Amino acid sequence: ELEEEGPPVELRQRKKPKSSENKESAKEEKINDIPAPERVPKHVLFQRFAKIFIGCLAAVTSGMMYALYLSAYHERKFWFSNRQELEREITFQGDSAIYYSYYKDMLKAPSFERGVYELTHNNKTVSLKTINAVQQMSLYPELIASLLYQATGSNEIIEPVYFYIGIVFGLQGIYVTALFVTSWLMSGTWLAGMLTVAWFIINRVDTTRIEYSIPLRENWALPYFACQIAALTGYLKSNLNTYGERFCYLLMSASTYTFMMMWEYSHYLLFLQAISLFLLDIFSLKQNDKVYEVYKIYIFSLFLGYLLQFENPALLVSPLLSLVAALMLAKCLQLNVKKGSFVAKIIKVINFYLVCTLTITLNIIMKMFVPHKENGHMLKFLEVKFGLNMTKNFTMNWLLCQESLQAPSQDFFLRLTQSSLLPFYILVLIICFLSMLQVIFRRIKKKCLRLKGVRNQPGQHGETPSLLKHLQHKDVSCMTPFVFSSLKYIWIPYVCMLAAFGVCSPELWMTLFKWLRLRTVHPILLALILSMAVPTIIGLSLWKEFFPRLMTELMELQEFYDPDTVELMTWIKRQAPVAAVFAGSPQLMGAIKLCTGWMVTSLPLYNDDDLLKRNENIYQIYSKRSAEDIYKILTSYKANYLIVEDAICNEVGTMRGCRVKDLLDIANGHMVCEEGDKLTYSKYGRFCHEVKINYSPYVNYFTRVYWNRSYFVYKINTVISFQS
């Protein structure tokens, strides 16, 4: 037995060194088989470096020049440097005045911490109301600007207003640079970035509202959104190295969170972006691991924003969180199934239905358990907007009459056509969309080019993940500007980017020639020529037509002249008691809060039901109500002074039924809106007219203390005298 067992033992002992030798030799053979990396020629490295250097220089220069252009145009438009502080502040209109007023309050505070506390427990703005202004109005830009102004010692160098608007103009420069970089990353040539910037500036009436309202939240937030899109575009590129991928990831994380902190509606835009990524996942047109890293960034930004925004419940009940949570749960279900199996294919088919169902379910559950304020007025507004309901409510009809919430006019499409943006965008969109459908059908039929061992063939324009993400994003959001005019400022900048990318992309031209079966000229050569010639021709034509107009705008010295408002603010600061409370239109109240610091009864903000109700009640001064009714309304808000604006009282509106007094008459039943409505006769005249005549009973309740051509100020009597 021992002799029989011996040989196997000896074989094992001899086999070990033999196997180790075989492994070592196999490793050496594999190492020897790996081809040594070839050194890139110096002239190729120089060409790459020169291309990147020139592109980066062009991108940074474009952003700086645009910021300087905005600063110069603002100076020429308002003659800003030659104005007194009061006249400068009057240029901030509506809600912009409220935002800048809090920036002033932060600078006046004894310390930054004390200023933040006063804003979060603010009872000096709206009478009988304590608000967390930082949370309700997203005042993080003002907090950051005031902190930078004091920390950098800029108070000895520059005035606060110039520092504030300088930051906003600088962010607009970053906005343009980010659009430049995104178009460059997608097309591979910085020529597309130059064309994007040209279209953006020429169509700036439709790309930005920076000229009219500098402190708007979107002017602070959208530059970060553009940086996030640029980082996401680079992150989704398949040929990105480790360091570039890490940089894009960090930039995307920082910009996503900052964007969410700057604007209360930011999570809705990120929701549309998440939908586009999900649609790409359905058709397996991008890298799953990278996209789920983006989902993690969404979740991290939402929860960090929730904590730093004073536990803002709107972020927990947002559709973005529900969608991302549903996508992560759906991924867990797919991980336990072997890839390529029949069950995996079935799950892939029902994945869309599963995610949609989970998203809706999770959102309903979150709204059931998370206390939050429903934006009931917004839901009712959408119902009326889309014709699902009719209403006589003043607030709803007043919102419908706002130009920013109406469909864009024909001039909007005419301007885009004259600048050649719309025709090229439609062409690029059609080609890219058809190419994307072609790729999707190939994937469904399992005719991918990878099965043939070919990668990135020319002409396969619809397979780039970053391009597909942009196409899906535009498909999801492109209808919104046709419903609300204000949303064009979000959509048009990316129309400029996508159109410029398509015109400068050789792959797009090759795709078109492939469909046309062009044989007379070599498609690749013709595509390279057209991708350089067409944008050059467009750029020269834009330069010839629009550059003189831009120079003319900078040469013209305009002037913002409003002496009546200046006189009113001066009188309030000199004559009105410090504890006085003023009542009037919300737009005027915002200016009073900024220019004087006095307390008001309402604000030009439309995201709060209580403020909307206040605005409707104060607007009754332009209705056909009795002096006693108006007096009761004003004293219920502890108002001491009433300001009647002649422009509203004698308004001659261009749109029928959109004047404030008409909307009030409809809401109060004093005007017939539709056939069959019951007309209620009012025995009182219009209050804003009657109070000017100074007869009883109006003089019993109100005493005129100041007036000019535009404003009439009345002191609300505390002791009522009924003597005629």
Question: Of the candidates 323, 348, 374, which is a domain's last residue?
Answer: 374
CA atoms lying within 13 Å on the CB side of residue 404: 9
Cα–Cα dist 365/384, whole Å = 27
In 3-state terms, what secondary structure has residue 711? strand
Structure tokens at 633: 């309304």
Q: Which domain holds residue 366?
A: 264-374
Question: Of the candidates 317, 352, 374, which is a domain's last residue?
Answer: 374
Written in H, E and C, the secondary structure of 511-553 is: HHHHHHCCCCCCHHHHHHHHHHHHHHHHHHHHHHHHHHHHHHH
The answer to whether residues 594 and 92 touch, using CB atoms and an 8 Å cutoff, is: yes
Residue 147: which residues within 8 A CB-CB, separation 6 or more? Answer: 112
The pLDDT score that the predictor gives to residue 677 is: 57
The pLDDT score that the predictor gives to residue 31 is: 42
Asked if residue 483 belongs to a domain, the reply is no
**Helix or strand holding residue 705 (H, E):** strand 702-707
Asked if residue 411 belongs to a domain, the reply is no
**Hey, how many other C-beta atoms are within 10 angstroms of the C-beta on 86?**
15
Asked if residue 644 belongs to a domain, the reply is yes
**Helix or strand holding residue 686 (H, E):** none
Mark out the alpha helices in 561-608 (DSSP H runs): 563-575, 586-595
Which residues make beta-bridge pairs with 600?
126, 582
Angle between helices 140-151 and 160-187 (to 10 degrees): 110
The pLDDT score that the predictor gives to residue 454 is: 44
**Helix or strand holding residue 715 (H, E):** strand 711-716
**Helix or strand holding residue 455 (H, E):** none
- How far from the centroid of its chain's Cα atoms is residue 359's Cα? 23
The CATH number given to whatever domain includes residue 628 is 3.40.50
Long-range CB pairs of 690-698, under 8 A, 24+ apart, other chains included: 690/627, 691/627, 691/644, 692/644, 696/722, 696/723, 696/724, 697/626, 697/627, 697/628, 697/722, 698/627
In 3-state terms, what secondary structure has residue 421? helix
Of 443, 452, 465, residue with least CA distance to 348: 443
**Hey, how many other C-beta atoms are within 10 angstroms of the C-beta on 287?**
16
The pLDDT score that the predictor gives to residue 528 is: 80
Asked if residue 247 belongs to a domain, the reply is no
Which residues make beta-bridge pairs with 715?
641, 703
Of 696, 602, 597, residue with least CA distance to 643: 602
**Hey, how many other C-beta atoms are within 10 angstroms of the C-beta on 656?**
7
The pLDDT score that the predictor gives to residue 291 is: 86
The answer to whether residues 483 and 408 touch, using CB atoms and an 8 Å cutoff, is: no
- How far from the centroid of its chain's Cα atoms is residue 724's Cα? 57
Angle between helices 140-151 and 242-262 (to 10 degrees): 110
Cα–Cα dist 309/589, whole Å = 26
Cα–Cα dist 36/74, whole Å = 59
Asked if residue 649 belongs to a domain, the reply is yes
What are residue 92's phi and psi, to 5 degrees? -85, 115
Asked if residue 582 belongs to a domain, the reply is yes
DSSP line for 337-397: S-TTSHHHHHHHHHHHHHHHHHHHHHHHHHHHHS-----HHHHHHHHHHTTS-----HHHH
Asked if residue 434 belongs to a domain, the reply is no
**Hey, how many other C-beta atoms are within 10 angstroms of the C-beta on 201?**
21
The answer to whether residues 649 and 711 touch, using CB atoms and an 8 Å cutoff, is: no
Residue-wise over 118-149: b if at least 16 C-beta within 10 A, else e?
bbbebeebbbebebebbbbbbbbbbbbbbeeb
Render pLDDT for 3-13 as a digit per residue (tens, 0 to 9): 334 444 444 44
Q: What is the C-alpha end-to-end distance of the chain, expressed in Å?
A: 136
Structure tokens at 144: 């950051």
Cα–Cα dist 183/503, whole Å = 11
Strand 581-583 versus strand 599-600 pairing type: parallel
Question: Of the candidates 312, 347, 374, which is a domain's last residue?
Answer: 374
Give the type of residue at 159.
E
Structure tokens at 529: 């020529």
DSSP line for 253-295: HHHHHHHHHH-TTHHHHHHHHHHHHHHHHHTT-S-HHHHHHHH
| Tally of structural domains, the chain | 2
| pLDDT < 70 positions in the chain | 1-40, 43, 283-287, 334-349, 374-377, 443-483, 518-521, 523, 653-656, 672-680, 720-724
**Helix or strand holding residue 558 (H, E):** none
